[in-house]
């Protein structure tokens, strides 16, 4: 698989710095959801109405951010 290196730590990014968030699939979300800064960034982007995409295991970050109440998601059964 591809190796991706972050350009900046989630704690250094603010909602106004991004246009959207894409949470990747695989095992990355399992680590991302344990980082308060990442969960806070996702929560802030959702609150600001910015697009947030979550692939495969990515919705686990959305669950940790507590932003899914009243939302409809698509998924594989």
Segment 7-65, tens digit of pLDDT: 999 999 999 999 999 999 989 999 999 999 999 999 999 999 999 999 999 999 999 99
C-beta contacts of 48-54 below 8 A and 24+ residues apart = 48/15, 50/15, 50/18, 50/19, 50/20, 50/21, 51/19, 51/20, 51/21, 52/20, 52/21, 52/22, 52/23, 53/20, 53/21, 53/22, 53/23, 54/22, 54/23, 54/29
Q: Give me the pLDDT at residue 14, please.
A: 94
Statement: the pTM of the whole predicted model exceeds 0.85: yes
Bridge partners, residue 52, by sequence: 21
Report CA dihedral (42, 43, 47, 53) to the nearest 10 degrees.
40
Q: Among this protein's residues, is 36 annotated catalytic?
A: no
Confidence of residue 74 (pLDDT cuts 50, 70, 90): confident
Selected catalytic residue, list 15, 56, 57, 60: 57
């Amino acid at each position: 698989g591809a190796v991706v290196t972050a350009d900046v730590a989630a704690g250094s990014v603010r909602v106004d710095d991004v246009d959207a968030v894409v949470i990747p699939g695989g095992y990355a979300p399992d680590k991302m959801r344990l980082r308060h800064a990442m969960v806070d960034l996702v929560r802030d982007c959702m609150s600001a109405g910015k697009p947030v995409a979550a692939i495969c295991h990515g919705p686990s970050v959305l669950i940790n951010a507590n932003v899914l109440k009243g939302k409809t998601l698509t998924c594989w059964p």
